[in-house]
Structures are given as structure tokens and as C-alpha cells.
Structure 1
């Protein structure tokens, strides 16, 4: 273990030394192989106000990414990452009160095999083509769409395998299409077929009030994503996105964002509107209701809005989201975070109906020193946890507070950046709570401290 840890710290430094030596003896002509090496150290801890199991973990990852120089628009790229559990509490032990497993710290490693202290994963392997107006990627890659995206961070993001096409005919329009056949969710060491990937994370309860049984029983062969972005003016952007999950669901998102100049001030008024419509398809993953991921008769809608101010030194906005319709709004947590304006890192409002969420965000930048501080505050009013048809995860209404800071050194430590997140979730439901409605959910303090170190060479 000590040798492995030393290796992942020394390897990037050795590459940096070689790159520096090479630069001093050769011309500045780009080499055929370009790449980067990176380290991520991630400390996470969770403690509760009541007598539940507290946990902590220090995870380490190291990646190497290589890319060939373009040849007539074509290139190859690959990325391999290794992961290590340097120190942690007993993440495989159940909480003695609820009998449930840890939710947060285990996500730094492989949630399917938390006993595995070290593992590796081939995250990217792709053939790329790029021209002035068109680009294509085939293979393993990262994509960033409203419902399939890298998520909000652990040791490594979510990757997909398939085909991604992008076409930008002019300065105002951009079209993209994605076909996904396999997914490697963050916090896992493997690659899964689309149906197999649903249920890698905890399932929650079925609409029948029993534990969901869709893990390993979901039939879905592919995901397609179509996206159009249209720049109406320099400050107004419209987006239309359709995410189709074979045999499960169809989700249509429309969104408009506009920044308005406030005459006589450096500020801009920030506004945004979002509407999402989702309905079930086929068998919902399985004809057996006990093994079904989504009810094919579901018809859900989400409205989300934003208003705020921004200037070069600060951002502030206030947001509102309403989830309604028939059945639960569902988007596999294994595939990415939700796109609602009210999203706050370390929690989501997916798997529910009859939801009202209000959040605010403030960010202050200090460009000269490399510091950024920010804060989130939110109120999330959910259905009663006992109403399983509307509340998949048995989550009480809650308030969430996040305080964060980022630091990128400008005078020293090139390639380094630091990020700290302090988070607390507080129960808003009156009356006595079941322990299962508290553990992993509310009345907690959660701490993240992240250090990234990246070196690139050309």
C-alpha cells in the first residue's frame, strides 16, 4: 500500500521533469502524443446529531490521459484511472440503529465492492473526428447533458460508451445527438449495459410499499439524446433536449436563459425558465410491477425558474422548482445529477412527486488571489415519507445549507487547486421520525476537502 501510494504521487512529478527536460532540448513543435496526468485526493466525513453511525474516508485517484495529434481531423484518446482507499472507517458495517449501509463515503470507491481497497478502470478509449462545423466521438467518453452527465464529483465522473455527434452550422445554432449502449457510473469499477446500470445505487421503495426489485431485472438496451441550442441574442439562449430511454421513459426538456443589462451599473439581471415533461414507455423496464423501474402510465412535469444578479465579482440567484403530475419523476441517479435550477450538490429531488423546492446561491470571486467562496441555502418540501407512491426514498422535507471555497494558486503550485464543501441537511417534518428517515438523509454535518493536481504536456 505504501509503495502504491508513493508511486501515484511520484509518477506525475517524474513526467513533469521529463517534459521540462524535453522542452529545453527540443523545439516547440507539438509531439504526436499529447496528454495529461492527474491526482485527486478526497477527504469526506459525515456525522449525525443523534446516535447513528458516523463515517469518514480518504480516497486517492490517479489518471493518465493520452491523445494523438490530429491527422486529417482524426485522433485517438484514452484515459486510465486507479483508485485507492487510503484510510476509512468500516464502511461495510451497517448502522446499528437502522441496519442500513453508509451512503456518502462509500461513493469514493466501488459501491458494488466497498472491500476492494485498490482498483483501476479504463474510462476513455475513443476515436475522434473534428472539422470546422462537425465533430464525432465513438467509444468510451464523458458527455454532459441534462440527464446524463459527469455528476457533481467524487474521485471520478460518470462515463458512457457509444457515439456522440455535434454539428454547429453557424454561430447561433448547435445540434448534438448521442447514442449510449453502456454506462460506467461514478463510484463503480465496471461497465454496465443500460438496463444493468439502473439499480447500481440504492433502489428505494416500489409504489407498492415494498423494496424495489428492479436491480438486475431491468430491460433497456440503449439511450438516445437529441439536443438543440439556439442563441437568440448574445445574452439569450434556448435549449431543447429529448432523452429517450429504451423501454422505460421519454423526457423532453425546454429551457430559456437570458441576461439583461442594467443600465448604469456593472450588473446583469439573470433569468431562466425550464419546463420538463416525462412519460413512461413500454414495460417500464419490466412487466412485473414488483420489478418495474417506472410505471408506463406515469405522466410527470417539472417547472423550474430562476432570477438573480451577476457581475465579474459576484453571482446571486434565487430558484424555484415544482414537480407534479402522475407518478414519480424518475431519472437514474447512476447516470447524473438532475438539471433543475434548485439543484444543490450532495442531494437531489429525483424519485418524487408533489415537490416544492426553493433555493438561493451566492458566489464571490477574488481573481487576484485565486479565491472563490460560495453558499447555497434551500428548502425542499417533499411528500410525507410514508407516501411511497410519491416518495421513493422515504425522505422527509428538509433544509440544506452548503458553504464552499475554492483556491487556485497563481504564484505557486501550477496545476494545483483546492476545494472545500461544508454541508448540513436539517429535517423540516414535524412529529416523530423513523430512524430510516434520518440516517443518510437529514440532521447531519457533511465535510468534503478535495485537492487536484494536473500536469499537461504537448
Structure 2
């Protein structure tokens, strides 16, 4: 790793020398972006309400190098501007707050100011081939930037992409390190699993896999095929050494509807995951995943879209043995029925249906959207099939995005209002409510990117 840092630093210092030969081509580029985030959560009943306000600043430096190489580095700094006492436990449920702590370093909630290196990579680019080595952002079905908070998830490794044919793209990641969202440092893969709430093991006892999970590498292979006009197929294989292997195929199609400016959209997604190796540890009480777990997930979509509107209806069916698990520290659910601020990872069985509607108002630089969903889950008392003890619920999100132009170009304001309600209010335990249902959640996010970056 020291050699990698040396090469990247050398590249950043090397570029200005070439700027004397060609100031347009070799001139380093400096970027600045800011993100201010306010979040609050309140409950119908007498549970501990919380709020938090955090600020992030990202400084980036990138430069072109000879022979198709480029180098980029950025540093992210975080400040806690205000918050309730996030270390205080609710008297009825001895668990930390779930949402607001994610604005800061979940491993060091006492820190009001912290920072970390985000991107730090060397690129090689040719018309049909690209490669990247170092620390980078990522967007794959099972390991991705996640939704929201002050910074995305970063990974460390090597990535290459080949446009093998005009209709066939192949990409591959080999990952050995990660800096999860809501953390201030870099970690090995196994080391990072368990930084978010670990909940219960399959026997109903507190999980003990944090700090005990053995996994050194993750391999991700993606194939994207362009089929007929408006149609694409994506194939993904994600293998996390000693934990699981997942396969996913996703077909998306846009249909031209005659004599109308509206298009039809359909999608079909199939996923299969099974445990491998020791599930993270040879001792059953310390493992992250049961190697005998096996799940299939079917997800579908139908909808309509126009220049200003988008609507779709989605359904997901999950079935199998044990639990479907994918580290929450590494990314969100990849299924069509995913709604920001909740996931169905950790379940053994799910039936979910939701709908999404979006309307854009270009003349006002405004976009409004809403999600509505029903999620039918296993009994929250069944630890084997419901890791986080979440009852079946309904969720509604209302969002507004405002991105002005001209004098305020670079500014982006995003408001998210979310509510979750248990579908069955009878017999709910406090631990099934707090951080989970019967709540109202607010997010106000202000992003600013310096024009020209």
C-alpha cells in the first residue's frame, strides 16, 4: 500500500512538469464540494427522539499523465454542528439510535471533527479499455455507495472495464479494503463487517461476528449486454471469500407505445445467493453467515415514463433457507422494491410490493417524487428468519429536489420525508418499534459543488 501511495503522490507532483509543455493537457484540476445534512426521527409513542446536523467538505485534486494515465485524490472532512445525545440509550430499548449516528463516525461517536482519504487512485484509459488501482467509489448490485448520509462507501482494490463489443461491456473488481459510509477510517473486508448494528444470531443470541469475521477479498464480475433497441441485460457475480457467493441477472426493456409520447418500461431480476467457506468463522457462535444458507429472489417491474414523468410498480419475492445476508456496511439492497431508509437484508422470506412516481418541473428546476410500499416479513420473534426483529410494515417517502440554474448553479437541495408503520399493531414489543416502525423521519440535504468542477 505504501508503494501505491508513493506512485499516486509522485503522479500528482509530476503533472505540473508536463504542464510547461502543454498547459491545457497537463494542468491539475482542483475541486471543492460541500454537503450539509440535517436529520431527525420522532415516534408515535414515548421513545427517545433524536436529531443531528453534520457538514462535509471534499477537496479533490486530479491530473492527466502521459500515455493515457490519470491520477486522482480527495480528502473528506466532517464536522458535527449540532445533535441530541446520540450515545444515550432509550430506557425501554438498550440500543443506540440507528439513523442519526450515520452522519458521523459510528466507531467514535465522541468525535465532533474527523476526516478521511476517499478517492486515491491511478487510472489508465484507452478507447475500449480502462483500469483503476487504489481507493475508489463503487456502484455494483451488492457493494455500492449506499443511499445518503454525508459521504459514500469507498473500496480499495483494482478495477478494469473492457468494451469487448459495441453491445458487450465487461468489468471486474478485486477488492481488499473498504471505508464504509459513516466511518472515518479504512478497514480490511472482514474487519468492517459488524460496524453497523449486529442484531441477533440465528439462535436468538446477540451476534458476535464483529471483529471475528475472516474475509480478505471480494470478487465482482459484471457483464452488460445491449440487446435490441431499448433492451439490456446485466449479469453479475459477487463472491466474498469465506462468506457468500451471489448471482444476479437483470433485464430491463423500454417499449415504444404507438401514437403517444409515453414509453412503457418493464424489468425482471433474479438473484441466487448461497453461503461458502466457514461463513466468516469456523466457530458457529462467531460466524457472520451460516454456510448452508441459500436464497433465491425474484423481482419485477412495470411502468410508464415520459419526458417529465416516471411511474413504476414493483414486486419482490424472497424465499430460501436461513437468512439472506449482505453486509450493510458495504451497500444497500439491489432489488426493485428498495426504498431509501430501510432494507430487507437479514430476512429469510419477503413479499414486497411498492410503487414510485416522479414528476419533473424543468421551468422551476424542481423534481417531486414519492414511494409507497408494503413489506411482509417473517415473525419478528423468529430470529432464524428475521435477523433485525423488524415487523411487517408499510413505508411512505416523499421527496423534493431543487437544483437552480444560472447564478445558483452547483446548488442542490433535497428534502426527504419518511414514515414507517407496522402492519399489525397488536403485541408489538418496544424492541420491535424503536428504530424500525411507527416513526416519522426527516432529511434535509444541501449540496454545493464549486462551478467548473
TM (norm. structure 1) is 0.93
Distance in 1 (alpha carbons) for counterparts of 2:281 and 2:23: 58
The correspondence of residues 221-232 of structure 1 with structure 2, limited to 5 A, is: 221-232=216-227
Identify the match of residue 392 of structure 2 among 389, 397, 405. 397
Partner of 2:110: 115
Q: Is the 8 A contact 2:55 2:81 kept in 1?
A: yes
Partner of 1:307: 302
Distance in 1 (alpha carbons) for counterparts of 2:410 and 2:188: 35
Specify the SS of the correspondent of 1:225.
strand
Specify the SS of the correspondent of 1:221.
coil
Distance in 2 (alpha carbons) for counterparts of 1:234 and 1:71: 38
Deviation of the 1:234 alpha carbon: 2.7
Partner of 1:446: 441
Q: Which runs of 4+ in 1 moved over 4 A?
A: none
Report Cα offsets for 1:399-442 as digits up to 9, x if no partner: 00000000110233121110000000001124211100000000
Specify the SS of the correspondent of 2:48.
coil
Deviation of the 1:125 alpha carbon: 0.8
Identify the match of residue 368 of structure 2 among 373, 377, 391. 373
Partner of 1:54: 49
Report Cα offsets for 1:27-55 as digits up to 9, x if no partner: 99355201310100000000000000000
Partner of 1:256: 251
Matched, 1:414 2:409: yes
Query: Bigger shift: 343-352 or 91-100?
Result: 91-100
Matched, 1:80 2:75: yes
Distance in 1 (alpha carbons) for counterparts of 2:310 and 2:224: 23
Distance in 1 (alpha carbons) for counterparts of 2:64 and 2:296: 45
Q: Is the 8 A contact 2:26 2:65 kept in 1?
A: no
Q: Is the 8 A contact 1:35 1:456 kept in 2?
A: no
RMSD value over aligned CA atoms?
Answer: 1.2
Distance in 2 (alpha carbons) for counterparts of 1:430 and 1:407: 37
Structure 1 unaligned segments of length 5 or more: list them: 1-26
Specify the SS of the correspondent of 1:368.
helix
Structure 2 unaligned segments of length 5 or more: list them: 1-21
Distance in 2 (alpha carbons) for counterparts of 1:111 and 1:446: 19
Distance 1:322 1:293, change over 3 A: same
The correspondence of residues 232-311 of structure 1 with structure 2, limited to 5 A, is: 232-311=227-306
Partner of 1:164: 159
Matched, 1:65 2:50: no
How many pairs were matched up?
432
Distance 1:28 1:261, change over 3 A: farther
The correspondence of residues 148-163 of structure 1 with structure 2, limited to 5 A, is: 148-163=143-158
Identify the match of residue 340 of structure 2 among 345, 355, 365. 345
Deviation of the 1:124 alpha carbon: 1.2
Deviation of the 1:233 alpha carbon: 1.9
Matched, 1:211 2:206: yes
Deviation of the 1:456 alpha carbon: 5.0
Report Cα offsets for 1:75-102 as digits up to 9, x if no partner: 1100101000000100111111112111
Partner of 2:131: 136
Deviation of the 1:455 alpha carbon: 1.3
Deviation of the 1:69 alpha carbon: 1.9
Query: Bigger shift: 69-78 or 294-303?
Result: 69-78
Q: Is the 8 A contact 2:413 2:447 kept in 1?
A: yes
